[in-house]
Amino acid sequence: MSQVTSVISNYQSGVINDIVDSSSISILSQVSKASSYSSCTTSSFALDSWIPSVAQSPSYIGCQISNGSNATTSNCAGANFASAGGSCNGCMDTTSILNTATYATKTAVLNALNSRYTAAGCSTFNNDLANVWNNYYSIKSNAYSAVASRASTASSKVNIFVTNITQTLNATFTNVVSSLNAVAQSVTDSKYGLVAGLNCKLIGEDFTTFTTTFCQSMFTVFFFSRLVVGCASFGLLFAVCCGACTGVRFYKHSIRKLNSIDNTGLSDNEV
């Protein structure tokens, strides 16, 4: 929010350019040059260059006074402005000097300029700068003032909120961190903690050994189990074959025995 209010203030004070059309910029450039008004013969006029702001960033209407001093409302207040003497000359900060309660109307601005540049030929410049003030500086200042006021209020509220949150959260986090440190100490203390003397490298090596042993053992078990099952299967197949052959042989002997009894003519009882 501080950055927001700063940017709004910079637009309002002319530090940042808020116009892009070439015709408007050319008018601002014209009133900044004494050479544009050669008919103004007041001696102090050539010592002044009226620019939007002495703190332009980046510069868009340059000061025409080489190595000129920066004149703001603090240098040009009251009688200093009319006399055009002392430090009230050089790079004239138009926004700072004219956007004050003293110059609340176009007429007030024009009267002040007429008092400063009194030669008859200076009237063109005086009227041009008064028109620029009336159609640009005054309108812009009024438009930005409301926005700047709301942004300033919001910034103040945010700062209060941040202060309250910071104080509350700092206390809370301090308590939490203290509690966590106490718990961590009881676990990680090298002498009395839960993991005192614990060597993670040894645990890793043991785990690797266990894994290797388990895998090798399981492979051996499954390998020999396959052999045992294979041998047992062949033995079972042999037993089944023997049983089948024995049954067939017994069956055939039974048939032959019955046939031999029938051929003697004897009854079953006689036999």
Q: What is the pLDDT of residue 195?
A: 57
CA–CA separation, 117 and 31 (whole Å) = 14
Whole-number Å distance between alpha carbons of 11 and 17: 7
The pLDDT score that the predictor gives to residue 124 is 97
Nearest to 12 by CA among 168, 139, 200: 139
Contacts (Cβ under 8 Å, ≥6 apart) of 195: 187, 188
pLDDT, tens digit only, all 271 positions of the chain: 778 888 888 888 899 999 989 999 999 999 999 999 999 999 889 999 999 999 998 999 999 998 888 999 988 887 788 776 668 899 999 999 998 778 889 999 999 999 999 999 999 999 999 999 999 999 988 888 888 788 778 877 777 877 777 777 777 777 777 777 776 666 666 555 555 555 666 667 777 887 788 787 877 877 778 778 878 887 788 888 888 888 888 878 888 777 776 655 544 454 4
One-letter amino acid for residue 154 of the chain:
A
Residue 142 is encoded by which pair of tokens? Answer: 């009024």
The answer to whether the beta carbons of residues 116 and 84 sit under 8 Å apart is: yes
Helix ranges, the chain (H):
2-12, 22-31, 79-83, 94-98, 106-116, 123-132, 138-188, 200-263
pTM: 0.58
Computed over every residue of the chain, the mean pLDDT equals: 83
Residue 71 phi/psi, 5-degree rounding, is -110, 125
N-to-C CA span, the chain: 127
Q: What are the pLDDT digits (tens) for 8-63? A: 888 888 999 999 899 999 999 999 999 999 999 998 899 999 999 999 989 999 99
Do residues 132 and 28 lie in contact, with contact meaning Cβ atoms separated by under 8 Å? yes
Other C-beta atoms lying within 10 Å of the C-beta of residue 45: 20
